[in-house]
Amino acid sequence: MSKTIRPKNYLSYSNKLILFCFTFFIQMHVLGQSKVGFFDKIMCKKLIGSGNELFYAGRTSEAMFTFKRAKMKNPNSWKANYHLAMSQFYLKSYLSAEENIVSALKLAGDKGDGELYYMLGRINHTLNKIDSAKTYYVKSREIFGKRFSKDYDLDILIQQCDFVKNENKNGIVNLRKPFSRKINSKYEEYGAILVYGGKRLYFTARQPETTGNNMNPDDQKFFEDMYMADWDDKSNNWVLNTEWMEDYNTEGFDALNFISRNGMYGLITVNTSASSEKTTSSSEIYEFEVDEEDSSWYVDPIINETINTSYFEGAATITDSLFDEDESYTQTMYFITDRKGDRSLTDIYSIQRIDDRWGIAKSETSLNTLGRETTPFVTGDGKYLFFSSDALPGMGGYDVYYCENTNGTWGAPINMGAEINTVNDDTHFQYYPELNKGVISGIYNFDGYFSYDVFEINLENTNFPFLKKDE
């Protein structure tokens, strides 16, 4: 019986089939791809369209879940991965956003567009991966060209990366330290204010215990309320008083913006337009005085048609009373408004109060940009103004700036640098010369969960000009 001799590279049909299937499986596993049916691809495109409508309507959380469904229908769609990453980025789910944007890049191959590289840059920028962020921004700019690059502020973003790299090169270390977990949570806390020598803390938060238990349908976060805590020397920690502020929080949005150093006067932003109360048509500025006998607050809206309008007004701060020879006093209040939103986004306005009579609010044109200015804080003597902006040279997102008033004119805003700022949003800076410290709000990574938190900053060994005592 003759023996059949086969070539060395010969494989039976069944072995070929097994090898093909194994190779295909490995390729699909490596590429993260699987075969997707025609109707699933169509459904994926429809879901992406629906998700975009929700996203641009401000309903970011709903958009994210819609993009997740799109990705489930077609895991091989780079656009589904991209849009999911985009929505997660704006919901501060940065690590998940990074995972999905990397998948989008792998799946897109040569089909990647300028928006994909832009979002890769934004996510890496937020995670402080500055070299990668700049590389992606440059790639996005090459794809977009000059015209569209300007719309995406790519030149500004690249400058921000260079700013950060220069600060890192100079060895500048950020000085902020988060308040304890008695204050900061997985929810958003911001707008810290210290009184009574730093022994009492006020802040604003969006926690489940919010008055009225209302939730914003756009971002699926609770309305904001004002909170208070006192320092306990025995436990060496803050003790939160959850009941004391109940009389002053509405069923809408309530944010405490300013309290005088003696704790007897303050300014609040109130917006009940989205609640059942509807006592305001938009965000409005209220003021309060404290009763010396029982410490209760008398809260009233500021009646002035150039302060509270049908637009957003809030984040108010005010100087101490400055008396003249006739014992007449003057104060200047600074606040934020979007009343010129067709030309800029949010701007700083100021208004004088002379002997309890408010004047006419005016724009601080030398400080305002086409972007967003927010959360101003003025020193009691009116000499220094601190605020946050997302359109001045900085590190990324909102940065904190300060400027000095000389003979009634504000100097150019100065970025406070990496000692104070980060690559993410930094807002609500307030300065306490008697304590040699400041407070600030920003993004904090707590075990992979990113949320807005409150921080304190020891300014004792810094050399900012506003720290120098007058001789």
Predicted pLDDT of residue 34: 64
Regarding pTM above 0.85, the answer is yes
Which three-class secondary structure state does DSSP give residue 376?
Answer: strand
Token reading at 310: 């049908």
- Which long-range contacts link 11-18 to residues 24+ away (Cβ below 8 Å)? none
Q: Which fold has domain 37-169?
A: 1.25.40
Predicted pLDDT of residue 33: 55
304's CB contacts (< 8 A; 6+ apart) are 351, 358, 361
Instruction: Write down how long the chain is.
Output: 471
Select from 421, 425, 403 the least CA-distant residue to 457.
421
The string of pLDDT tens digits covering residues 310-321 is: 999 999 999 998
Predicted pLDDT of residue 447: 82
- The answer to whether 37-169 and 176-467 have equal CATH topology is no
Q: CB 166: neighbour CB atoms within 10 A?
A: 12
Could you tell me if 82 and 67 are in contact, meaning their C-beta atoms sit under 8 angstroms apart?
no
Q: CB 336: neighbour CB atoms within 10 A?
A: 25
Could you tell me if 208 and 222 are in contact, meaning their C-beta atoms sit under 8 angstroms apart?
yes
Domain boundaries, the chain: 37-169, 176-467
The string of pLDDT tens digits covering residues 131-181 is: 999 999 999 999 999 889 999 999 999 999 999 999 999 999 999 999 999
DSSP-derived secondary structure letter, 109: G
- Please, which residues bridge with residue 389 across strands? 373, 399
The CA distance from 333 to 27, in Å, is 64
Predicted pLDDT of residue 20: 52
Could you tell me if 462 and 419 are in contact, meaning their C-beta atoms sit under 8 angstroms apart?
yes
Q: CB 56: neighbour CB atoms within 10 A?
A: 10
pLDDT tens track of the chain, all 471 residues? 444 333 444 445 555 555 555 554 445 444 455 688 989 999 999 999 999 999 999 899 999 999 999 999 999 999 999 999 999 999 999 999 999 999 999 999 988 899 999 999 999 999 999 999 999 999 999 999 988 999 999 999 999 999 999 999 999 999 999 999 999 998 999 999 999 999 999 999 998 877 766 767 666 678 899 999 999 999 999 999 878 888 899 988 999 999 998 889 999 999 998 888 888 889 999 999 999 888 899 999 999 999 999 999 999 999 998 766 667 889 999 999 999 877 778 999 999 999 989 999 999 999 999 999 999 999 999 999 999 999 999 999 999 999 999 999 999 999 999 999 999 999 999 999 999 999 999 999 888 889 999 999 999 989 998 887 654
- Please, which residues bridge with residue 125 across strands? none
| CATH hierarchy code of domain 176-467 | 2.120.10.30
Beta-strand runs (E) in 371-413? 373-378, 384-389, 399-406, 409-410
Which three-class secondary structure state does DSSP give residue 250?
Answer: coil
Predicted pLDDT of residue 440: 98
